[in-house]
């Protein structure tokens, strides 16, 4: 099989997997929805231009696409776990290296090319189209359209290739990954102010920032391809029975065997530690950096408060980790109810929520430990986390990893959460104490969760 | 005769497709009943309806005297089910999975029960292996063990032997015969006719969701016929009809 054939086959496979799993027509609407959001989002830019200049909005968009690239990269791409999933039973074409004379490097390189083209078409292009459609109404030079597309694509690819690079290190050695992260952090610290190359390219298009951006993409990607390791699933793993001892310790919570199973899923899936780094700490760290930039332009905002809001939203994605390895159909033949499973997942979520709380404490300490905004920020974190989780459960039940890609469901999620989040942010700008009002979201979350338990109780296996 | 399963004009529709079309049947205690049919004929949907995993579009069913729509959890507490498509959780070991199921069912003597099944199905050496690393045959043994862990009176099995080697197939067939001779009841679905002919007391033949035939295997073989030509004639006749 030649690389172009392999590439086309992978593109078809990716589309078919998505459109099959994510309701075909509704998945096709996902890019359309991005166009719509980008269009209306761009239309609002002039209203906020005093507070958020266009250049800052552009930087925020770049960071958003950097994160999107990192998330695409980390979606199943967590060291050995990624390789197992991508090259294991779940991935058909990538598995051909076992039966056909194609090297793993060639497959992985093609796979990266496929991800590049596929996700630029799925995310970056629709966003640019939405922005382009709005430019006549907001007096922005149409020349920025091409520039926006190019710089956003570069930001996205830097995120993608950085996560591929880090996950390749992780697949070889966790110590190597940790050492590399420390070196990178020290290098950033010593370098002082670093301008993100795609952003430099956007502000001042030239060969130097373009070349620098390409280096940031190509070098990590090349290392990932050269040192790719594939841990095929025929390596048998053995463990002593840990379920019982864990369940005994968790027994005061009830549903202890389910919570213990969640814990073992997270610990043994090898994405466990990787997930925390790639899906949680990395985006959270980037958001914190982004906020440090933002406060220079928008006086009056409390970075800890905004951080608490965003941390609450990201925390709710912990629920996605918890449901990733479970399908209710795996329990449907046992005396288990959907509502019972949801309750168990919520308990596991409650335990894992200590992680974002710890992150907030750390962030508060980093800001100098100002105690006054910490309590409202903690209230915001808990409320936003509970509310966005409740919306997720209400809309997707036990299947957030699949159903949030349903354009209709995602639109409802955004409509249900974004006005509330904006309200909290604006309230906190007037006075951080107003953010305590976010605690009203807790009863709303409780109401939604109780509706979810009833609503999803009637879920049944599809297909025949 | 004690009725273990009673279905009345049970029907399930998925959109415009009728997966099961007005099936009525009853199965009594101690019987080994085989539901035979080609792939996609409605066997799995029938088992899912009888165990309250999916709700019938119309009709009704009682399992061990319980209405499967009204009391699906109680039904699944009492019966054992071996689904065809589901596999045990990837990141639990074989032993942990059986303990997990035992805890869900609130069983006592968990270690003893698990040891019994590891010994009987000869996979003691796999008890500490992650389920994702088990062979298909061993996963099937594990699913078999979980269904019998609580010593149910009725077991519903979807394709019981499909991944097992011939030695283990023999063992399972003998076990099922022994189980029914002691009063247990088995409802199994399969498209492998030899299994049905060898171990079932009674069979039903399903095609396109409709029950084309139900009767004793003895009656068929006693009249000098074999199941395979009978099945093929019936199904082909249904296609031609």
The 10s digit of each residue's pLDDT in B69-124 is 999 999 999 999 999 877 788 899 999 999 999 999 999 999 999 999 999 999 99
At residue A75, the pLDDT reads: 60
In a domain, B103, yes or no: no
Cβ–Cβ below 8 Å for A326 and B133: no
Residue B154 forms beta bridges with which residues?
A: B185
Residue B95 touches partner A, C-beta closer than 8 Å? yes
B25, two tokens: 């049947």
Write out the H or E segment, with its range, that includes residue B229. helix B227-240
Classified as helix, coil or strand, A74 is: helix
At residue A97, the pLDDT reads: 58
Closest residue in B to A340 (Cα) is: B104
- Computed over its alpha carbons, how large is the radius of gyration of chain B? 18
A-contacting residues in B 11-30 (Cβ below 8 Å):
12, 14, 17, 19
Please name the member of A233, A331, A464 whose beta carbon is closest to the beta carbon of B132: A233
In a domain, B204, yes or no: yes
In a domain, B111, yes or no: no
The 10s digit of each residue's pLDDT in A381-394 is 999 999 999 999 99
Contacts with A435 (C-beta within 8 Å, 6 or more apart), sequence order: A305, A308, A376, A377, A379, A380, A424, A427, A428
Please name the member of B74, B88, B96 whose beta carbon is closest to the beta carbon of A241: B96
- Geometric angle at alpha carbon B160, from B157 and B164, rounded to 5°: 155
- Provide mean pLDDT across the span A230-259: 85
At residue A85, the pLDDT reads: 42
Cβ–Cβ below 8 Å for B90 and A269: yes
Closest residue in A to B75 (Cα) is: A335
Please name the member of A239, A329, A337 whose beta carbon is closest to the beta carbon of B93: A239
The 10s digit of each residue's pLDDT in A327-373 is 788 888 999 999 999 999 999 999 999 999 999 999 888 877 665 68
Region for residue A345 given its phi and psi (left: phi exceeds 0; alpha: psi -120 to 50; beta: otherwise) = alpha
In a domain, B70, yes or no: yes
Mean pLDDT of chain A: 83
pLDDT greater than 60 at residue A234: no
Please provide residue A139's backbone torsions phi and psi, each rounded to the nearest 5 degrees: 55, 45
Closest residue in B to A272 (Cα) is: B91
Cβ–Cβ below 8 Å for B89 and A325: yes
Nearest to B44 by CA among A458, A462, A325: A462
CA distance A450 to A18: 31
pLDDT greater than 70 at residue A231: no
Nearest to B35 by CA among B192, B220, B224: B192
Lowest-confidence range among A252-261, A453-462, B112-121, B229-238?
A453-462
The 10s digit of each residue's pLDDT in B157-175 is 998 888 889 999 999 999 9
Better-predicted residue by pLDDT, B171 or A402: B171
In a domain, B198, yes or no: yes
| Interface list for chain A against chain B, based on CB atoms closer than 8 Å | 233-244, 247, 256-257, 261, 264-265, 268-269, 325-326, 329-337, 458, 460-464
CA distance A72 to A111: 12
Contact between B67 and B8 under an 8 Å Cβ cutoff? The reply is: no
Positive or negative: CA dihedral A93, A99, A102, A104: positive
Provide the ipTM: 0.90
In a domain, B221, yes or no: yes
- Provide mean pLDDT across the span B45-49: 95
Cβ–Cβ below 8 Å for B55 and A460: yes
Give the range of the structural domain holding residue B226, as residue numbers without chain letter. Answer: 1-79+189-241
Cβ–Cβ below 8 Å for B89 and A265: yes
Name the percent of chain B lying above pLDDT 70.
98
Contact between A243 and B96 under an 8 Å Cβ cutoff? The reply is: yes
At residue A20, the pLDDT reads: 63
- Provide mean pLDDT across the span A190-213: 84
pLDDT greater than 80 at residue A404: no
Cβ–Cβ below 8 Å for B96 and A242: yes
In a domain, B174, yes or no: no
For chain A, which residues make up each domain, given as ranges? 1-236, 300-464
Cβ–Cβ below 8 Å for A335 and B76: yes
Using pLDDT thresholds of 50, 70 and 90, give the confidence band for residue A52.
confident
Q: Give contacts of B45 with chain A, Cβ < 8 Å.
A: 464
- Computed over its alpha carbons, how large is the radius of gyration of chain A? 22
CA distance A214 to A300: 37
Q: How many domains does chain B have?
A: 1
Q: The domain spanning residue B202 has which CATH number?
A: 3.40.50.300
At residue B235, the pLDDT reads: 86
At residue A145, the pLDDT reads: 92
Better-predicted residue by pLDDT, A47 or B116: B116
At residue A272, the pLDDT reads: 62
CA distance B196 to A159: 57
- Provide mean pLDDT across the span B141-154: 96
Q: Give contacts of B100 with chain A, Cβ < 8 Å.
A: 243, 257, 261
Using pLDDT thresholds of 50, 70 and 90, give the confidence band for residue A83.
very low
At residue A273, the pLDDT reads: 61
Q: Give contacts of A244 with chain B, Cβ < 8 Å.
A: 96, 99
Using pLDDT thresholds of 50, 70 and 90, give the confidence band for residue A250.
very high
CB-defined contacts A:B, below 8 A: 104
- Provide mean pLDDT across the span A126-132: 95
In a domain, B122, yes or no: no
Cβ–Cβ below 8 Å for B86 and A240: no
Using pLDDT thresholds of 50, 70 and 90, give the confidence band for residue A410.
confident
CA distance A416 to A418: 6
At residue A87, the pLDDT reads: 40
Name the percent of chain B lying above pLDDT 90.
77
Positive or negative: CA dihedral B78, B82, B86, B88: positive
Mean pLDDT of chain B: 92
Please name the member of B81, B90, B129 whose beta carbon is closest to the beta carbon of A333: B81
Cβ–Cβ below 8 Å for B130 and A236: yes
Cβ–Cβ below 8 Å for A236 and B17: no
Query: Which one of B45, B100, B127, B134 would you mutate to disrupt binding with A, by most A Cβ within 10 Å of its Cβ?
Result: B100
Using pLDDT thresholds of 50, 70 and 90, give the confidence band for residue A187.
confident
pLDDT greater than 90 at residue A50: no
């Amino acid at each position: 099989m030649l690389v172009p054939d392999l590439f086309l086959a992978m593109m078809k496979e990716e589309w078919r997997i998505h459109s099959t799993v994510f309701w075909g027509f509704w998945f096709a609407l996902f890019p359309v929805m991005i166009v719509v959001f980008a269009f209306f989002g761009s239309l609002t830019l002039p209203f906020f231009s005093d507070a958020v200049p266009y250049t800052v909005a552009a930087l925020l968009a770049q960071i958003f696409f950097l994160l999107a690239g990192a998330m695409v990269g980390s979606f199943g791409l967590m060291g050995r776990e990624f390789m197992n999933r991508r090259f294991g039973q779940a991935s058909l074409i990538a598995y051909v290296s076992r039966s056909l004379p194609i090297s793993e490097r060639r497959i992985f390189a093609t796979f990266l090319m496929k991800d590049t083209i596929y996700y630029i078409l799925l995310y970056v292009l629709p966003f640019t189209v939405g922005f382009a459609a709005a430019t006549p109404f907001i007096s922005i030079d149409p020349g920025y359209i091409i520039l926006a597309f190019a710089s956003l694509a570069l930001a996205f690819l830097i995120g993608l290739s950085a996560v591929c690079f880090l996950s390749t290190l992780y697949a070889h050695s966790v110590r190597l990954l940790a050492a590399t992260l420390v070196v990178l952090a020290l290098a950033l610290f010593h370098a002082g102010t670093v301008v993100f190359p795609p952003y430099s390219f956007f502000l001042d298009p030239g060969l130097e920032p373009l070349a620098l951006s390409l280096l940031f993409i190509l070098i990590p990607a090349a290392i990932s391809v050269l040192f790719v390791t594939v841990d095929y699933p025929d390596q048998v793993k053995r463990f002593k029975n840990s379920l019982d001892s864990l369940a005994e310790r968790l027994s005061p919570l009830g549903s202890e065997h389910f919570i213990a199973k969640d814990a073992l899923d997270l610990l043994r899936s090898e994405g466990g530690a990787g997930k925390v780094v790639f899906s949680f700490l990395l985006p959270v760290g980037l958001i914190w950096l982004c906020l440090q930039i933002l406060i220079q332009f928008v006086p009056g905002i409390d970075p800890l408060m905004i951080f608490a809001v965003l941390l609450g939203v990201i925390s709710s994605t912990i629920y996605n980790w918890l449901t990733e390895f479970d399908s209710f159909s795996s329990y449907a033949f046992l005396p288990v109810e959907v509502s019972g499973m949801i309750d168990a997942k919520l308990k596991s979520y409650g335990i894992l929520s200590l992680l974002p709380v710890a992150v907030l404490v750390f962030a508060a300490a980093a800001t100098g430990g100002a105690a006054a905004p910490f309590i409202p920020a903690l209230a915001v974190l808990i409320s936003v986390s509970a509310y966005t989780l409740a919306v997720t459960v209400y809309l997707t039940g036990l299947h957030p990893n699949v159903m949030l890609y349903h354009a209709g469901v995602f639109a409802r999620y955004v409509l249900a959460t974004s006005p509330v989040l904006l309200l909290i942010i604006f309230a906190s700008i007037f006075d951080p104490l107003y953010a305590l009002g976010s605690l009203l979201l807790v009863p709303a979350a409780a109401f939604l969760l109780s509706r979810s338990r009833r609503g999803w109780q009637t879920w049944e296996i599809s297909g025949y | 005769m004690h009725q273990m399963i009673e279905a009345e004009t049970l029907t399930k529709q998925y959109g415009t497709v009728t997966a099961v079309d007005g099936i009525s049947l009853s199965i009594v205690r101690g019987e080994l009943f085989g539901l035979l049919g080609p792939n996609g004929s409605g066997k799995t949907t029938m088992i899912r309806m009888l165990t309250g995993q999916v709700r019938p579009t119309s009709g009704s069913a009682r399992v061990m005297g319980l209405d499967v729509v009204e009391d699906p959890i109680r039904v699944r507490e009492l019966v054992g089910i071996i689904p065809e498509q589901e596999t045990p959780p990837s990141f639990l070991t074989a032993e942990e999975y059986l303990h997990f199921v035992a805890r869900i069912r609130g069983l006592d003597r968990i270690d003893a029960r698990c040891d019994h099944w590891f010994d009987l199905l000869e996979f003691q050496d796999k008890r500490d292996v992650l389920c994702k690393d088990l062979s298909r045959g061993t996963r099937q043994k594990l699913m078999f063990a979980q269904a019998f862990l609580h010593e149910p009176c009725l077991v519903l099995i979807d394709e019981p032997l499909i991944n097992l080697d011939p030695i283990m197939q023999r063992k399972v067939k003998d076990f099922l015969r022994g189980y029914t001779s002691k009063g247990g009841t088995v409802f199994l679905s399969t498209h492998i006719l030899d299994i049905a002919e060898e171990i079932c007391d009674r069979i039903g033949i399903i095609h396109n969701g409709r029950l084309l035939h139900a009767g004793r295997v003895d009656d068929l073989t006693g009249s000098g016929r074999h199941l395979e030509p009978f099945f093929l004639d019936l199904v082909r006749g249904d296609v031609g009809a």
